[in-house]
Copies of this chain bind each other. A is one copy, B any other.
Amino acid sequence: MSAMRTLVRGGTVVSATGRRRADVLIEGERIVALLAGDDRGTTERAVGGDGEVDRVIDATGRYVLPGGVDVHTHLELPVSGTVSADDYTTGTRAALLGGTTTIVDYAGQDRGGGLLEGVERWRARAAGRTCGDHAFHLMVTDVRPDVLEEMADVVAAGVTSFKLFTAYPDTNYSDDGRILAAMQRCAELGATVMMHAENGIAIDVLRAQAIARGDTEPIHHLLTRPVSFEAEAVHRAVVLAEVAGCELVIVHISSADALAEAVAGRDRGLPVFAETCPQYLWLAIEDVPDGIDGARLVCSPPLRWRRDGHQDVLWDGIATGRVDVVGTDHCPFTWEDKLRGRGDFTRIPNGVGVIEHRLDLLHQGVVDGRLSLERFVEVACTAPARLAGLHPRKGEIAVGADADLVVYDPAATHRLSALTHHMAVDHSAFEGLEVTGRTETVLLRGRVVVEDGEHVGAPGDGREVPRGPNTLPMAEPGGG
């Protein structure tokens, strides 16, 4: 039996470099042809007559976008006695409904444990349960000589990036020596270092002091993680990466200062990449309510003061190429879980739910004139796929690529709310925010999984995508 054939017709196909009227022909899981949409003859000839296409999707008046790639998620993440609210099914379903067809989730090493066993544990959890495609990074929390050795096996297993933490001394932290050694190993392996950059050792002093003097509310979580401690850790990571010679991604950049440090590294010619997240673009300390309600907006790095201009600088950074990718750091917890932090902000599980809203929150930036439509596609789809080594299969509408497509209505408006979102969390960081632009139809490897804003797929539609090396890098591998 021949593969199913679908034609997405009449839309404006958007890429990182331009927008064009084009029809997209899909056979099985792949895009097999891009056809000049204004030339009916070509499309029809390529299609070979109506009977031969199984399905035609009319995208007239719509954007046809590459399926979004979210390179920063934490689904079913075990955190001190609980687990993040979205599991692999609810999380990837919400992602699909927001136009994200592939996520890269963070598997984790146990302290004392090995790396591959961590990857395998996460793989087992996700297998058969995701609604969209998925891949993994690996969080390394215990850098030992044997672990450095084992990193080669992890890369061979299709996990090509390792996350290190200058934060969280009790759980994930590595000291600068361990970070340097792991970075050197990544350089050898052509793997990428993902860095959570905050000076956790110093932050813990401020946290303990706050608690000791009775500053125990959620807002004190934010006030004890100063901008300068994020920027400092970025600076340090860049210095270590330069000595090691490795590629470095600073994840979830929340502040102008931290971005400036990453950019300074890039300006010296180093392969330093920057990720931010929609919460840092849209939310600020000014938005945090008094009292325990503030727990809703507790994440790390924390939100920053709007009055200090961080949001504007991050938006500008996206527009000008200083920010490379926008992930979500999606890691929501139920309100019940958040309430654990009543009377002690250090017990609030960290994280907000964003996976469903990433494209809409970025597209709103296009509507607001903060970035171009092409740049939106680049930071939400193409660059993340390249960074994560998922390209050329993911991230772009191109012949040979996986047929992950989003038919996006740029004019539809809707309001973000816990009442209507599909993430498994009973509150929203963006409650009430109205945005223009909406995911209408989604194809995952050629199959329609979202239709008119409804999920029509099923758990298990998703598959793990093996990752190659980062192809964003500036220099040709093997070059001088």
- A residues touching B (Cβ–Cβ < 8 Å)? 15-22, 25, 27, 30-39, 42, 45-48, 175-177, 179-181, 199, 201-202, 204-206, 226, 228-229, 231-232, 235-236, 239-240, 242-243, 260, 263, 266-269, 312-313, 316, 319-322, 366-375, 378, 382, 386, 391-392, 395-396, 398-401, 471, 473-480
Question: Most B CB atoms within 10 A — which of A206, A320, A471?
Answer: A320
In the complex, residue of chain B having the shortest beta-carbon distance to the beta carbon of A232: B239
Chain B residues with Cβ under 8 A from A242's Cβ? Answer: 228
Contact A371 B267 (CB under 8 A): no
Chain B residues with Cβ under 8 A from A16's Cβ? Answer: 16-17
Given the complex of chains A and B, what is the CA–CA distance between A45 and B45 in angstroms? 7
Given the complex of chains A and B, what is the CA–CA distance between A17 and B374 in angstroms? 12
Given the complex of chains A and B, what is the CA–CA distance between A480 and B364 in angstroms? 11
In the complex, residue of chain B having the shortest beta-carbon distance to the beta carbon of A260: B267
The listed residue (B202, B266, B374) touching A176 by CB distance below 8 A is B202
Known: A27-B42, A202-B177, A320-B269. A480 touches B368 (CB 8 A): yes
Closest Cβ of chain B to A146, distance in Å, is: 16
In the complex, residue of chain B having the shortest beta-carbon distance to the beta carbon of A236: B232
Closest Cβ of chain B to A3, distance in Å, is: 10
Contact A18 B201 (CB under 8 A): no
Question: Most B CB atoms within 10 A — which of A199, A229, A267, A478?
Answer: A267
Chain B residues with Cβ under 8 A from A368's Cβ? Answer: 479-480
Closest Cβ of chain B to A433, distance in Å, is: 16
Chain B residues with Cβ under 8 A from A18's Cβ? Answer: 386, 391-392, 396, 398, 471
Contact A263 B269 (CB under 8 A): no
Chain B residues with Cβ under 8 A from A36's Cβ? Answer: 27, 30-33, 399-400
Copies per complex?
A: 4
Given the complex of chains A and B, what is the CA–CA distance between A474 and B371 in angstroms? 5
Given the complex of chains A and B, what is the CA–CA distance between A45 and B391 in angstroms? 27
Contact A392 B19 (CB under 8 A): yes
Contact A475 B399 (CB under 8 A): no
Chain B residues with Cβ under 8 A from A371's Cβ? Answer: 474-476
Contact B400 A267 (CB under 8 A): no
Contact A399 B243 (CB under 8 A): no
Contact A33 B32 (CB under 8 A): no
Chain B residues with Cβ under 8 A from A31's Cβ? Answer: 36
Contact A396 B232 (CB under 8 A): no
Closest Cβ of chain B to A360, distance in Å, is: 16
Question: Most B CB atoms within 10 A — which of A15, A205, A374, A473?
Answer: A205
Question: Most B CB atoms within 10 A — which of A17, A39, A374, A378?
Answer: A17
Contact A322 B267 (CB under 8 A): yes
Known: A36-B30, A235-B235, A474-B371. A399 touches B22 (CB 8 A): yes
Contact B400 A38 (CB under 8 A): yes
Contact A375 B474 (CB under 8 A): yes
Of the A-B pairs whose beta carbons lie under 8 Å apart in the complex, a sample of 5, sorted by A's number, is A17-B382, A36-B399, A180-B202, A202-B240, A371-B474
Given the complex of chains A and B, what is the CA–CA distance between A7 and B267 in angstroms? 42
Contact A366 B239 (CB under 8 A): no
Pairs of residues from A and B, 7 with the lowest C-beta to C-beta distance, nearest first: A369-B479, A319-B474, A269-B316, A46-B46, A32-B36, A369-B480, A32-B42
Given the complex of chains A and B, what is the CA–CA distance between A371 and B476 in angstroms? 5
Chain B residues with Cβ under 8 A from A239's Cβ? Answer: 199, 228-229, 231-232
Contact B228 A370 (CB under 8 A): no
Closest Cβ of chain B to A40, distance in Å, is: 11
9 additional contacts (CB under 8 A) given A235-B236, A269-B316: A17-B391, A22-B400, A32-B35, A42-B46, A175-B201, A366-B479, A369-B475, A370-B475, A374-B471
